[in-house]
């Protein structure tokens, strides 16, 4: 991609789930990529943000670093999720502006949308209500970056774009049952149950809500295209454009995992937002992005990766 050839790009969270896929694609496009790791730069600290910019001397910053988790993690760590995500965005954007960085790409979240947003979610609906309660602190912290970037564009002419990716999944996701999102949690539970011959798997909620999911490689491609081609002030949804009931998702993952037992829903646990599905027209018209990986194909790939990874982990522990 000519627009990124030899461009100096710093990626926070570049060693993470989405980050590793994005960094690879940026390098394939000819960019010079600096990966920011949390063990070297604590982005909650202003001095660390300034040092990162000085050390990497970027033309473009892509900010993916975040404190994230599923419904359970959002409930138990709401204060941490609010503070740490907000302060990272505030300090890093300010450091980039002061250093004259040409462009800042911020990763938002679908959790920023109001709880009862009409489906499909359009970017113009972003401010029409309060987010779903279980993940509102996280969603509002990320949403603050949009306000900061738009106000900095108005006052300083600072070029910042804000992308709103839907729920992601794929290889290298977080499969820790205490903090993972729905797909990796289900994959781990169903694969384990299939291997152990368990007769039942317990899942949170009623299974009635809907969610939209995007394969991580597709999301990385969207960020690459937006970094190269989009300079607008308006937020942009990044998604697949189709929703699925959580109950149907569970049945699909169970089938692909080889689990044939009973699925038991714990209705005492929260469901989260009733429906989530994005309108993706702006991404397609603004920079030509359209997802290409079907949910079933993406799940097959993710399940295969998890089985290989977990087998390797068990083999290493047995040595």
Residues annotated as catalytic (active site), given as ranges: 138
Residue 211, strand partner residues: 244
Which string of b and e fits 284-295 if b means at least 16 CB within 10 Å?
eebbebebebeb
Name the token pair of 319: 């040595």
Neighbours of 219 (CB within 10 A): 27
> Residue 197: which region, alpha, beta or left (left: phi > 0; alpha: psi -120 to 50)?
left
Would you tell me the crossing angle of helices 136-156 and 78-98 to the nearest 10 degrees? Answer: 20
Contact by Cβ (8 Å): 142, 79: no
The closest alpha carbon to 162, from 100, 218, 214, 227, belongs to 227
DSSP 5: T
Other C-beta atoms within 10 Å of 138: how many? 27
Kindly write down the DSSP assignment for every residue of 255-317, as one continuous string.
HHHT--SEEEEETTS---SS---B--HHHHHHH-------HHHHHHHHHHHHHHHHHHHHHHH
- Annotate 101-117 with b (16+ C-beta within 10 A) or e (fewer): bebbbbbbbbbbbbbeb
Please tell me the distance from the alpha carbon of residue 272 to that of residue 96, in angstroms, as a whole number: 35
Q: Is the peptide bond before 120 cis (omega within 30 degrees of 0)?
A: yes
């Amino acid at each position: 991609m000519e627009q990124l050839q030899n461009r100096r790009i710093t990626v926070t969270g570049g060693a993470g789930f989405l980050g590793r896929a994005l960094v690879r694609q940026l390098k394939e496009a000819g960019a010079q990529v600096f990966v920011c790791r949390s063990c070297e730069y604590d982005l909650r600290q202003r001095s660390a943000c300034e040092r990162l910019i000085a050390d990497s001397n970027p033309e473009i910053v892509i900010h993916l670093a975040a404190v994230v988790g599923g419904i359970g993690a959002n409930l138990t760590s709401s204060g941490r999720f609010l503070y740490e995500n907000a302060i990272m965005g505030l300090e890093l954007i300010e450091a980039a502006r002061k250093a004259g960085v040409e462009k800042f790409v911020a990763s938002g979240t679908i959790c920023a949308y109001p709880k009862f947003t009409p489906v499909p979610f359009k970017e113009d609906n972003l401010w029409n209500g309060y987010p779903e309660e279980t993940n509102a602190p996280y969603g509002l912290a990320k949403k603050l970056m949009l306000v900061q970037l738009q106000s900095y564009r108005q006052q300083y002419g600072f070029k910042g774009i804000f992308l709103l990716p839907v729920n992601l999944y794929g290889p290298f996701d977080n499969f820790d049952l205490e903090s993972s999102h729905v797909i990796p949690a289900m994959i781990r539970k169903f694969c384990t149950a299939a291997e152990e011959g368990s007769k039942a798997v317990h899942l949170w909620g009623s299974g009635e809500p809907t969610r939209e999911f995007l394969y991580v490689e597709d999301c990385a491609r969207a960020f690459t295209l937006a970094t190269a081609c989009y300079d607008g002030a308006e937020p942009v949804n990044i998604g697949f454009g189709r929703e699925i009931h959580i109950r149907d998702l569970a049945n699909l993952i169970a089938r692909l995992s080889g689990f044939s037992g009973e699925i038991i829903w714990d209705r005492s646990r929260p469901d989260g937002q009733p429906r989530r599905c994005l309108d993706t027209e702006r991404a397609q018209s603004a920079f030509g992005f359209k997802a290409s990986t079907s949910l079933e194909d993406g799940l097959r790939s993710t399940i295969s990766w998890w089985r290989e990874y977990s087998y390797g982990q068990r083999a290493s522990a047995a040595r």
